[in-house]
Amino acid sequence: MKKSFSSDLPPLYKLDSFSLKATNNSFYIEQFKPHLAKHKFVSRPHNHDFYLLLYVTSGGGTHNIDFRNYSVKPGSFFLMTPGQVHSWRLEPDTDGYIIFFLREFYQMNLNCNNLIEFPFFHTLNANPLIQLPSELHAIDFIVTEMHEEFRKSDRAIDLRILRSYLDLLLLKLARYYPKDGQERFANASTQKLRKLEQLIDQYYIELKKPNEYADLLHISPSYLNSICKKHVGQTLTNLISDRLILEAKRLFAHSDLTVSQVSEQLKFSSASYFIRFFKKHVGENPEQFKQTLNRAI
């Protein structure tokens, strides 16, 4: 019989948490300050089942995404994939625009572009922050036009226009993505690497061995490992381990699960093996990590 564990994991918000209009259109855009005032529940750690874009035009603070703090300042553009846990500490005058959309919305117009082809939406070591140069009028124009279109009544909104603006926005932002991130993926075996990203995120709990992913991709483990080392700078084993460690950290930070329960939930053969695995990759054992989190609160 499967055990159930009590937990207080970060809530997963769907589009219907924000407005019926967002749900009906699979898309949402709002100025950031009124969005925060209307949805105060987003101030605590949470994640989403949709893509999130945050464009900051004034103010500042910090934005924590999966245990990493990023500075927030005018020109900061954050791009997040579904499932990432985040929270922020912002100055009172912080404003800008926030955008939500589902993958289905982006692909609905038979767009030839795939979201995972954009470097900021790679699930393996992607940087979610682009710091734009000041007075970037093209980005401002696209975002404000999207906002104006979305403010129309449901009958008047043209989703083709919104999707076209979204595609243009992502294409423009890709130009400003940090060069080291672009170069890392520029000449990659992109289809295999992108598929690997999806497979790891889907099966990391059940499949922990590199050869299992090579089998799914119908290539040899050594060739797949060489792709990872060349284009991501890590072995396939490390990429799988990183995903497991991230999930373990999320569970320790946002639930009351014990070390043994986390080990069982992640399907390790024993708690002692999980503790050794965690310490090897984090540099401290789970209890020490939990103590560090408590001191940070």
Give the separation between CA 217 and CA 240, rounded to whole angstroms.
15
Same domain, 101 and 115: yes
Residue 125: band (very low, low, confident or very high) from pLDDT cuts 50, 70, 90: low
267 versus 136: the higher-pLDDT residue is 267
Domain final residue, candidates 184, 209, 231: 184
Same domain, 26 and 169: yes
Task: Compute the mean pLDDT over every residue in the chain, rounded to the nearest whole number.
Answer: 86
- Percent of the chain's residues with pLDDT above 70: 87
Is the pLDDT at 3 greater than 60? The verdict is no
150 versus 194: the higher-pLDDT residue is 150
Mean pLDDT (whole number) for 237-243: 92
Mean pLDDT (whole number) for 86-96: 93
Q: Where are the alpha helices (DSSP H) in the chain?
A: 20-25, 32-38, 103-107, 137-150, 159-175, 179-186, 190-203, 210-217, 221-231, 236-254, 259-265, 271-282, 286-296
Domain final residue, candidates 169, 184, 199: 184
Give the separation between CA 32 and CA 35, rounded to whole angstroms.
5
Our count of domains for the chain comes to 2
* Strands 51-58 vs 47-48: parallel, antiparallel or unpaired: unpaired
114 versus 113: the higher-pLDDT residue is 114
Is the pLDDT at 195 greater than 50? The verdict is yes
Residue 7: band (very low, low, confident or very high) from pLDDT cuts 50, 70, 90: low
- Domain assignment of residue 238, yes or no: yes
Same domain, 25 and 112: yes
Which amino acid, one-letter code, is at 37? Answer: A
Residue 151: band (very low, low, confident or very high) from pLDDT cuts 50, 70, 90: very high
Domain range for 217: 189-296
Q: What is the pLDDT of residue 188?
A: 46
Q: What is the pLDDT of residue 123?
A: 63
Residue 124: band (very low, low, confident or very high) from pLDDT cuts 50, 70, 90: low
- Domain assignment of residue 7, yes or no: no
- Domain assignment of residue 40, yes or no: yes
Same domain, 160 and 226: no
Is the pLDDT at 180 greater than 90? The verdict is no
CATH classification of the domain holding 244? 1.10.10.60
Which structure tokens are listed for 196? 């690997």
232 versus 275: the higher-pLDDT residue is 275
Mean pLDDT (whole number) for 21-49: 91
Global model pTM greater than 0.75:
no
- Domain assignment of residue 244, yes or no: yes
Domain final residue, candidates 155, 184, 213: 184
